[in-house]
């Protein structure tokens, strides 16, 4: 039995509805988080309600947090710190480092300078937190190995006493850049070079994501299902995406770019930068493939000459992206928050299309 023309037309219309929508320039909006009077500002982490980074008032970086606008800026720098920065935020906790002279100290805040908690390991000459879930922190601690400070991937659960060394067996050095609380992502240096990889809470759980064809690779973010970062191939940097194994590697590098990096993944979308002119990064958004690339730089006014996107967060039907852009007119770098409604797809499960029109004859 052949379907009637009405059925064919309806099926065609439903097929069009099933096509995924693509973000357009008009859908995106941006907000400068730059506090009035500051020299420069940078945003490195975001949730739906909070952004973190650092602000320079002329005497160096000071950790900062915002709640969606420049007017909500809060200086997180502990009173005695010389330099500080916040790299990540989750569960009401802001994480990064503060320096009081003699090296950086990994730590976190709970919204104010007075809540600063120093979690630098006892044997570490310096350390930083790169990511937090609110209860688990990961980053790097520099331990003396052969008399030299050597980076070691690190995991904490709220205090210096909970520090765990994640440096994989056989690795010369390592850094943990991201955590979900269950899975950690980062990279380790072996005799042949750097390799992207993931952990499950212990050094022994290390699993390499390194694509065999790449010279070196680095994982900078994990959502649990996806990992984002970059590879180095013949001197060129290419944004990279994995789904838990080396074999799942996807090259996100845009066709016309010289270099690219993916800093963060939500599990669905990725952000970072691509260089179409050497030395000039443009904040970039992907949806899992190189062909899906969208320039967040294009959302900004012409005053902004270059930009980077460092964090992506999806919640309540909205995508939040934090980063920064250089304002050539004002002569400064400004923390930026990009937002867009989540692209939606209407998928209709139609195991069979039944014609309800009675056949004549």
**pLDDT > 70 in the chain, percent:** 88
- In DSSP terms, 195 is beta-bridged to 188
How confident is the model over 256-261, as a mean pLDDT? 97
Q: Where are the domains of the chain?
A: 5-341
- In DSSP terms, 280 is beta-bridged to 277
Name the one residue in this structure whose structure tokens are 């950690």: 184
How confident is the model over 263-284, as a mean pLDDT? 97
Model pLDDT, residue 18: 36
R_g over Cα of the chain: 23
Instruction: Output the furthest CA–CA distance in the chain (Å, rounded).
Output: 94
Query: Is residue 251 over pLDDT 50?
Result: yes
Q: How far apart are CA 258 and CA 236, in angstroms?
A: 7
Q: How far apart are CA 210 and CA 345, in angstroms?
A: 32
User: Residue 340 — φ and ψ, nearest 5°?
Assistant: -160, 145
| Structure confidence by residue, pLDDT tens digits, 310-332 | 999 999 999 999 999 999 999 99
How confident is the model over 341-358, as a mean pLDDT? 41
pTM greater than the 0.95 cutoff: no
DSSP 96-130: EEEESSSSEEEEEESSSGGG-EE---TTEEEEEEE
User: Residue 86 — φ and ψ, nearest 5°?
Assistant: -110, 125
| Structure confidence by residue, pLDDT tens digits, 106-128 | 999 999 999 999 999 999 999 99
How confident is the model over 30-56, as a mean pLDDT? 98
Closest CA to 90 of 70, 121, 56, 65: 65
Query: Is residue 349 over pLDDT 80?
Result: no
How confident is the model over 54-59, as a mean pLDDT? 94
Task: Please provide the average confidence, as pLDDT, over all residues in the chain.
Answer: 90
Name the one residue in this structure whose structure tokens are 């060394």: 165
Model pLDDT, residue 344: 55
Q: How far apart are CA 84 and CA 281, in angstroms?
A: 25
Q: Do the beta carbons of residue 57 and residue 17 sit within 8 Å? A: no
DSSP conformation class of 205: G
Closest CA to 76 of 100, 90, 58, 94: 94
Q: How far apart are CA 188 and CA 15, in angstroms?
A: 46
- 5-341: CATH topology: Methylamine Dehydrogenase; Chain H (2.130.10)
Q: How far apart are CA 334 and CA 326, in angstroms?
A: 6
How confident is the model over 76-84, as a mean pLDDT? 93
Could you tell me which residue, 229 or 22, shows the higher pLDDT? 229
How confident is the model over 11-20, as a mean pLDDT? 37
**pLDDT > 90 in the chain, percent:** 84
Tokens of 98: 């503060």
Model pLDDT, residue 29: 96
How confident is the model over 204-214, as a mean pLDDT? 97
How confident is the model over 130-134, as a mean pLDDT? 98
Q: How far apart are CA 128 and CA 148, in angstroms?
A: 17
| Structure confidence by residue, pLDDT tens digits, 210-231 | 999 999 999 999 999 999 999 9
Gap between the terminal Cα atoms of the chain: 14
How confident is the model over 322-347, as a mean pLDDT? 87
Model pLDDT, residue 308: 98
């Amino acid at each position: 039995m052949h379907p009637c023309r009405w059925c064919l037309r309806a099926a065609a219309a439903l097929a069009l509805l099933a096509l995924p929508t693509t973000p357009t320039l008009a859908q995106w909006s941006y907000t400068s988080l730059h506090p009035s009077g500051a020299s420069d500002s940078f945003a490195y982490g975001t949730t739906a309600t909070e952004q973190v980074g650092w602000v320079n008032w002329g005497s160096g970086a000071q950790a900062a947090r915002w709640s969606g606008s420049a007017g909500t800026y809060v200086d997180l720098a502990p009173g005695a710190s010389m330099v500080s920065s916040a790299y990540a935020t989750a569960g009401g906790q802001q994480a990064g480092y503060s320096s009081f002279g003699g090296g950086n100290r990994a730590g976190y805040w709970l919204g104010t300078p007075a809540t600063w908690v120093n979690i630098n390991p006892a044997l570490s000459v310096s350390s930083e937190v790169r990511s937090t879930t609110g209860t688990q922190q990961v980053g790097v601690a520099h331990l003396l190995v052969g008399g030299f400070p050597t980076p070691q991937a690190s995991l904490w659960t709220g205090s210096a006493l909970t520090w765990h060394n994640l440096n994989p067996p056989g690795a010369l050095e390592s850094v943990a850049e991201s955590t979900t609380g269950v899975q950690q992502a980062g990279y380790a240096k072996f005799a042949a070079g750097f390799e992207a990889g993931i952990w499950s809470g212990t050094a022994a759980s290390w699993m390499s994501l390194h694509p065999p064809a790449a010279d070196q690779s680095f994982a900078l973010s994990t959502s649990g299902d996806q990992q984002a970062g970059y590879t180095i191939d013949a001197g060129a940097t290419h944004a990279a995406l994995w789904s838990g194994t080396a074999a799942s590697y996807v090259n996100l590098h845009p066709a016309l770019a010289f270099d690219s990096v993916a800093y963060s993944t939500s599990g669905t979308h990725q952000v970072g930068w691509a260089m179409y002119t050497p030395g000039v990064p443009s904040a970039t958004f992907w949806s899992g493939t190189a062909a899906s690339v969208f320039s967040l730089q294009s959302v900004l006014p012409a005053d902004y000459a270059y930009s980077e996107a460092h964090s992506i967060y999806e919640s309540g039907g909205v995508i939040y992206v934090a980063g920064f852009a250089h304002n050539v007119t004002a002569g400064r770098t400004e923390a930026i928050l990009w937002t867009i409604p989540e692209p939606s797809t209407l998928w209709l499960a139609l195991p069979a299309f039944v014609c309800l029109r009675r056949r004549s004859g």
